[in-house]
Structure 1
């Protein structure tokens, strides 16, 4: 992977400074282009064609087209052969050059042909325009700023924070962060800086000094095919996932895989194994019971004869990591699994340059407990008022005895009747557990309704998670954690053909009764051990709740009640949550983590 940055004026000193901020994304080579009214910068992590022939910014023969690019085009070899038949001549063996000649040949039609994980900018000097594009699912990041006569783009927000753009915080993005732990699709934490949407493109006209066109070249649509049979579907999944893994093994540097011992990561390792002579796999474990998947990782490693690396971490290492996270996560981000993802990336980078992961399997095939829970909660919320009131009183009475977070959350669904989107957002958020939290207005997020446009509730929640949770939480987390140590990660489950196949599979095959990922489990039968396929989902967790009560209590208190000039929550709410958490009555670790990460970010980048 790499880092890219650029803007619509010539300034060699500034482009050098901004490009340097992305050195962690590409520590091996820097490239700059300044001329014809633009400045482009690139930091390179060498993956395919390690020679200087693949240096970026890369141009065509007459210098009329330049490209800076982050990612991998997995079908570049077939596209290259097609372009060569049409008379194009290549000077490198890289996938980057396919973008140069592909744009010459097909113009914007290039976007309909490439498959992979990418974010790039093409400078077309003849048409005097900058063309930005981002991959279909949002695997690779791309931000932009366009105000007045200035246009800036970059792989990470830090380049804008150092480029003197207005630092006004975007209130809707902050509100979204406080409920869900990340900023939303299309908007960064800064009001003036936007994210290019997954499957999106943008054309900036230098002569007019404005964004001339912005849109989507691809968007996920669910069209369940009722004629599909289970045998046909399981075979199609096996074939497509296997092809996806094979296509993503193209590399001139060592490859490995993350291996937690879960269904998704084990499936990737199983399909990699025949094609990789010495397969290194990586996992971590924490010093608390319940956060140790080593038993299952060991089963998978021994089954597929991998060279497995497992390192144990504790609160001391987490404390050190907290100091570093705000630099690499340069806008507020509060999914606690950023901790283990960062740690396992460190372990992997000691042995390989590329690691495949199982990210995306849960969103394609319904792998989260919330998919089991949404239908009963909708039914609960739709009960007649008197029945809801009686049930709420009963639950409240029981909760006085057992003090359960689950019952606190359940009471949120016994309030006023909500639409299906709001019910899901209440379930999805780590908030909505007491009277104050239940007063949060979800009407401000009605723009998310575009994901809830299907007749089937499971299809709606899969649509939401794939278009919002996946790119803005999971893929952001994996990109920043891996790029912090110059590790490229690849996600075969998000192969475009597999994603489109999954969108045609009826939800009854994905969630069968209460069995999650039913069709994927059937597809992997005979390939993975039964104890891997049918183990209980654990998730990529960290014992944060315990750490914040013990080893990290002092750090948490200082951060949660620090004065930053931005009041995220009412102090009385935080004081009550702190008391409940420290007594063991409730788990407010996600709330505290969101405050800690925001405050750390604010002090690092805004003060």
Structure 2
């Protein structure tokens, strides 16, 4: 994994300082740095390298062949197959050289052939063109600023800010963040700054920008699904996952894995152990009992014969870490599981350079409770909404939350259901709290499946996964120069998962409900039933207890009504009311307060 930055001018402009970019991205690539600039400074590239494949200096970047120059962040898992297919004669053993040779040989036709996680830029001196590309599922980041003189780009927004390109807040971004907990791509916190979307490429030539999707994610759910009663489905899924794990283990440096004890990370760990190499596993726990999954991680590791290293996230450490969040994420970030992700990454980085993780399983195989709600609303929504007003008088936070869910707009039902199941502000609440919010909420522009479960999962896959979960993992891990690979998001796994009928992703009945039934059925081949048939908890933290206790004074300062009214014109009486309700016992409001705290940190 690495960091990259650069610029491209189609008319005369002032080149940015590439050395500043290198300094700001050094945490992403501590092993080597490099620069390349056009003789007339019409384009420039900067790179910081985390050496994973071919550790020699010959594989450093920018990497040049003929008139083409490449900066690249990520891994190609099929680089050897591509080299054989193209008959490439390479001077290194790195995937970097294979990527550049593939571009020179096949041009845009090379992009659909790539299997991996990546963001890269290729500049060609021969025709003064630049290609910017992001991987199909958004595992690796790429930011772009468009200006009259040209385009500037980087792995992290902080570089573009340091170059003076992040100057004006997007009014809509505040509303989007309060509603969703993130700013959805292609937009950012700032006017004129964009995230290259998953599966998207930008091709720049003299005075022109061509943006296109070389990988259309909605095409994943277009074909008819596999037969529901396919007897070979579990075996096919196991074989595909096994191949994905094998390809993700290719490395010239030590590899470990994250292990929470949940279904996804345990399955990855089981498939790793099956390879016969007992990798070092890493996990995180809490002193607060109900949130602590350490015993499950320890039991899984012991059963699979994996050494396990662990750490505890305590409130005192949280108080040290939270002020650093703006430097990690560059814009408000609503997922407070970033804190344990940061800590487990720091733990792992002391031993290895690469880890495998289980991200992607929930979106692909039916892991969230909101998918059940999507089906209920589809079948019984009309009748449930009739009784919704009565629920708001029921004396529990759960029933009030359901009332909010049922009161949502039908035209943005997918976004509303996500927002309310994540305990964020409904759009009605956003407009009351933030008078500058648009009349209508942001909605996805992508087509969704007709099946309600599949539609909600597709929305998560299109937006929540890349803009929240994968962003969280990338920034938290790369603060420590740690590469996180996600075999459940291997292209073959993803494409198979979207062929599986939605009926096979519904949770099995029982208490607790058995989410992701196919993955659990496969996991039972490797682990005893008590470690598989347990309640889904998720990677969360006891934030409500912390906000009432050791973090209260700090949090109150960040999310003070006056501070937020001054910085964002939020309605101070509503902020104060939120604090009062939370302190009186409505713990589910901790997530909303966390969003306000994030705004305060960026004020």
Q: TM-score, normalised by structure 1?
A: 0.92
Q: CA deviation at 1:512?
A: 4.6
Q: CA deviation at 1:507?
A: 0.3
Q: CA deviation at 1:13?
A: 7.2
Name the structure 2 match of 1:460: 455
Report the Cα distance in structure 2 between the residues aligned to 1:554 and 1:512, rounded to whole angstroms. 41
Instruction: Determine if contact 1:122/1:130 at 8 Å carries over to the other structure.
Output: yes
Dislocated runs of 4+, deviation >4 Å: 9-13, 432-443
Name the structure 2 match of 1:412: 404
1:58 aligns with 2:55: no
1:392 aligns with 2:389: yes
1:556-571, aligned counterparts within 5 Å? 556-561=555-560, 563=563, 565-567=566-568, 569-571=570-572
Report the Cα distance in structure 1 between the residues aligned to 2:198 and 2:132, rounded to whole angstroms. 12
Report the Cα distance in structure 1 between the residues aligned to 2:339 and 2:326, rounded to whole angstroms. 12
Report the Cα distance in structure 2 between the residues aligned to 1:167 and 1:275, rounded to whole angstroms. 50
Instruction: Determine if contact 2:179/2:426 at 8 Å carries over to the other structure.
Output: no
185-194 or 518-527, which moves further after superposition?
518-527
1:421 aligns with 2:402: no
Identify which of 431, 436, 443 aligns with 2:424: 431
Instruction: Determine if contact 2:337/2:539 at 8 Å carries over to the other structure.
Output: yes
Q: Secondary structure at the match of 1:448?
A: coil
Q: CA deviation at 1:434?
A: 11
Instruction: Determine if contact 2:544/2:587 at 8 Å carries over to the other structure.
Output: no
Q: CA deviation at 1:82?
A: 2.5
Aligned residues: 585
Instruction: Determine if contact 2:404/2:420 at 8 Å carries over to the other structure.
Output: no
Identify which of 210, 214, 218 aligns with 1:217: 214
Report the Cα distance in structure 1 between the residues aligned to 2:178 and 2:525, rounded to whole angstroms. 43
- CA shift in 2, pair 1:329/1:511, >3 Å: same
336-345 or 504-513, which moves further after superposition?
504-513
1:296-315, aligned counterparts within 5 Å? 296-315=296-315
Name the structure 1 match of 2:25: 22
Q: Secondary structure at the match of 1:563?
A: helix
Report the Cα distance in structure 1 between the residues aligned to 2:409 and 2:160, rounded to whole angstroms. 43
- CA shift in 2, pair 1:435/1:150, >3 Å: closer
Name the structure 1 match of 2:586: 585
Q: CA deviation at 1:568?
A: 5.9
Q: Secondary structure at the match of 1:243?
A: helix
1:447 aligns with 2:443: yes
Q: CA deviation at 1:524?
A: 2.5
Name the structure 2 match of 1:67: 70
1:174-185, aligned counterparts within 5 Å? 174-185=174-185
Report the Cα distance in structure 1 between the residues aligned to 2:50 and 2:398, rounded to whole angstroms. 45
Structure 1 gap ranges (5+): 603-607
- CA shift in 2, pair 1:349/1:126, >3 Å: same
Name the structure 1 match of 2:269: 269
Report the Cα distance in structure 1 between the residues aligned to 2:153 and 2:106, rounded to whole angstroms. 24
Report the Cα distance in structure 1 between the residues aligned to 2:569 and 2:348, rounded to whole angstroms. 36
Report the Cα distance in structure 1 between the residues aligned to 2:569 and 2:242, rounded to whole angstroms. 46
1:45 aligns with 2:42: no
Report the Cα distance in structure 2 between the residues aligned to 1:15 and 1:149, rounded to whole angstroms. 17
Report the Cα distance in structure 1 between the residues aligned to 2:106 and 2:351, rounded to whole angstroms. 39
Name the structure 2 match of 1:484: 479
Name the structure 2 match of 1:605: none
Task: Give a deviation string over 1:232-264, Cα, whole Å, max 9, x none.
Answer: 211111010110000000111110000000110
Q: Secondary structure at the match of 1:447?
A: coil
Report the Cα distance in structure 2 between the residues aligned to 1:505 and 1:263, rounded to whole angstroms. 18
1:541 aligns with 2:537: no
Report the Cα distance in structure 2 between the residues aligned to 1:43 and 1:426, rounded to whole angstroms. 37
Report the Cα distance in structure 2 between the residues aligned to 1:426 and 1:443, rounded to whole angstroms. 17
Name the structure 2 match of 1:473: 468
- CA shift in 2, pair 1:456/1:118, >3 Å: same
Q: Secondary structure at the match of 1:522?
A: helix
Q: Secondary structure at the match of 2:6?
A: strand
Instruction: Determine if contact 1:230/1:519 at 8 Å carries over to the other structure.
Output: no
Report the Cα distance in structure 1 between the residues aligned to 2:43 and 2:408, rounded to whole angstroms. 55
Task: Give a deviation string over 1:365-385, Cα, whole Å, max 9, x none.
Answer: 010111122222445541287
- CA shift in 2, pair 1:102/1:449, >3 Å: closer
Q: CA deviation at 1:175?
A: 1.3
Report the Cα distance in structure 1 between the residues aligned to 2:78 and 2:46, rounded to whole angstroms. 25
Report the Cα distance in structure 1 between the residues aligned to 2:368 and 2:166, rounded to whole angstroms. 39
Report the Cα distance in structure 2 between the residues aligned to 1:568 and 1:425, rounded to whole angstroms. 26
- CA shift in 2, pair 1:417/1:114, >3 Å: closer
Instruction: Determine if contact 2:349/2:482 at 8 Å carries over to the other structure.
Output: yes
CA-based RMSD of the aligned residues comes to: 2.2
Q: CA deviation at 1:423?
A: 4.7
Report the Cα distance in structure 2 between the residues aligned to 1:4 and 1:435, rounded to whole angstroms. 40
Q: Secondary structure at the match of 1:99?
A: helix
Task: Give a deviation string over 1:339-363, Cα, whole Å, max 9, x none.
Answer: 1111111111111110100000000
Instruction: Determine if contact 1:121/1:131 at 8 Å carries over to the other structure.
Output: yes
- CA shift in 2, pair 1:445/1:415, >3 Å: closer
Report the Cα distance in structure 2 between the residues aligned to 1:229 and 1:2, rounded to whole angstroms. 44
Task: Give a deviation string over 1:300-321, Cα, whole Å, max 9, x none.
Answer: 1001111101111210000101
Instruction: Determine if contact 1:381/1:417 at 8 Å carries over to the other structure.
Output: no
